[in-house]
Each structure stands twice: as C-alpha cells, then as structure tokens.
Amino acid sequence: MLLHVSELRLVESLEGLCERILDYRIHKERTDSSRFSKEMSQTFKTLHGLVAKGVKVDLGIPHEMWDKPPAEVTQLKTQCEYLLEDNEDRIEDWYAHQQSNTDLQNYLCRQHVLSKNQQSCLDEKGERAINVEL
C-alpha cells in the first residue's frame, strides 16, 4: 500500500508540471537561465505604465496578447513534455530508489539527459529562475 501511495504522489507532482512553465516570462536583457522568470520584464512594466497613463503604444500585436507566454516559453513547455515522456522510467526509478542519493536535477540532467558540454546551465549561481521540486 505504501508504494502505491508513493507512486500516486509522484503522478500528482508531475501532473501539470509542464503547464506551470507557461507562468514564466522572458527577460531578453538577461543572458543566463534567469531570463525566464515569473515577474514581468522591466520593458513590459514600463509599457503597461505608459498605457495606464493614456499613451498609445503600438508593438504590432494586440494589447491583450502582451501578457501571453512568448514563443520561447511555449517551446520550453513542449520540451518539458517530451523530457517527461522520454524519461518516465528514469524519473520513476529516481523517485523509488535514488532520491536519497541525489537530487532529480543531477540524476536526470547530469547523468542521463545532457552531455557534458550542455551542463553549464546547471552550475549557474544567483537567482534560479526555474526550480522544480517534487
């Protein structure tokens, strides 16, 4: 029974995980992973402020689309879905057997998914924009 409850907790934790990525915005002025953040970029804060003061701002897209997730974020959501699907067995193995030895980021990203030359983003210091906890 305990294993079944634990598996159910994992499933519940993963449910909607990739969908939550759509809550993030892109900050093009940043160059590391912190460019993805839930807070509105300074540029859009300024633009919203101008509109609130009655200034006509034309970005070439309707105002109601300003706060929609940008293409980069929707692409991340799609990549997240593929990552979870392609590594379902590894995630289950980590959850059942490895989580006391290593965190999911190291187990999945360093040991199984990313090549050595793709791992520098895992070592970035400072604000961690996307932090996933199960």
Question: What are the tens digits of pLDDT across the range 67-116?
Answer: 888 888 999 999 999 999 999 999 999 998 888 899 998 999 999 999 99
pTM of the model: 0.72
26 conformational bin, left if phi > 0, alpha if psi -120 to 50, beta if neither = beta
Tell me the residue ranges of DSSP E strands in 3-86: 25-26, 36-37
- pLDDT at residue 126, rounded to an integer: 55
Do 130 and 21 meet the contact criterion of CB atoms below 8 Å apart? Answer: yes
How much is the mean pLDDT over the chain? 83
Query: What distances in angstroms separate CA 94 from CA 38, 106, 107, one per listed residue?
Result: 28, 10, 7
